[in-house]
Structure 1
Amino acid sequence: MAESSPYLNVIAGAYDALADLYADFVRGSLDRLPLDRSVVGAFADLVRAGGVRRVVEAGCGPGYMTAHLRDLGLDPFGVDLSPALIEIARADYPDLRFEVGSMGAIDVADGELGGLLSWYSMIHIPPPELPPYFAEFRRVLAPGGHLLVGFFESEGDPVVEFDHRVTPAYRWPIDELAGLAREEGFVEVARMLREPLEDERFRRGHLLMRRDPAA
């Protein structure tokens, strides 16, 4: 997938412009999200059990989730479109590897990773462009490797565009997103929906999947 696609440039530019504000906003956000932490913890348990602890956070932003994966016993690195966010991630977590790049073209060999985390990073991808990202995720994962996707759920509506604070984004029906992943060679393991907190606008969706060894 070409990293110079116009929508990728728009996303990178928007996050570059607000990098410091965004990083300050998300720091420590997991502390008040026990359900979200439980899903990420289950993902980490499954990856460790699979024996390949090397994982990528695709769309890592300022790196706080990549660091959380390290704390859960994995060997993570992060990739993000925004050079400004990668600079913050490297400053905050100098012991971890962070690279500027597209999660649609991850610089690893086929089947190299035991897991991939996409934590609210696919939300800005235009819906017609999304299937190739799942294909790339399948490519980099070892057979049986696990994928965890966090996203905003559409609460019964079709795919809905909304005014994300950084740049326009999309809310997905969980069944539709799971169907896209299935078409690209993933088997659903579990799903979790939670209602928004008082200061959140939308329901949160989480899909835990594994790469079908036959795909």
Structure 2
Amino acid sequence: YLAMLAEQCSRYKEMVQFLEDMVKQRDKDLNSDERNLLSIAYKNSISGGRSAVRTIMAYEAKEKKKENSTFLPYITEYKKQVEDELTKLCQGVLKTTDEQLLKKAEDDEAKVFYIKMKGDYNRYIAEYAEGDLKKQVSDDALKAYDEATEIAKTLPVLNPIALGLALNFSVFYYEVINDHKKAIEIAKAAVEKADKELPNIDEDADENRDTVSIYNLLKENLDMWVSEEEGDQ
């Protein structure tokens, strides 16, 4: 209840704390609604940091084009400070996932949810990391996404967690690894499988809202990526 109240107040770090305390006190896994609540808490607690890093990187790139920029050293120092804070938050999510959530996961859907989360939060660090750290988190993200993809084969094609995994894994290949061909391959496979099953569900029903939303994102990415690749040829 306190976590939902914190969400209504947009106090996401407190929302995370309430939910993590609940996780530690319980012997069994979270249910589907609780998992989604935790995911919302984590994502919103770092969204400001991710946005800030992207903004600072844009300013840094602009200053790098200038000769003898006075501001560049300050921008670089500030960027490191914001990145360090974001890395710490992401590593906190990864620690809780490994030490608490995965150990209590009772079924394949829960396992895919948590292992996908490991891929996601390593990917978020990889978006800005450099050198050894970038290699480490990219390798860890790839390992997690691969493992989750293998387990997700037991889930229905239109399961929103399985579709979300395909979406995020393809984005990882496109944006972090810069392997556009592999990104298109993953997205295309998920879209084609979903296309065969979508006629069998009511797309307007509330219970299918997440599935349809994620499918549309996959389709948009796929169309955009294919168009970009064709434009480059």
Q: TM-score, normalised by structure 2?
A: 0.27
Q: TM-score, normalised by structure 1?
A: 0.29
Name the larger-Rg structure: 2
Q: Which has the higher contact order (CA 8 A, sep 6+)?
A: 1
Higher strand share: 1
Higher helix share: 2
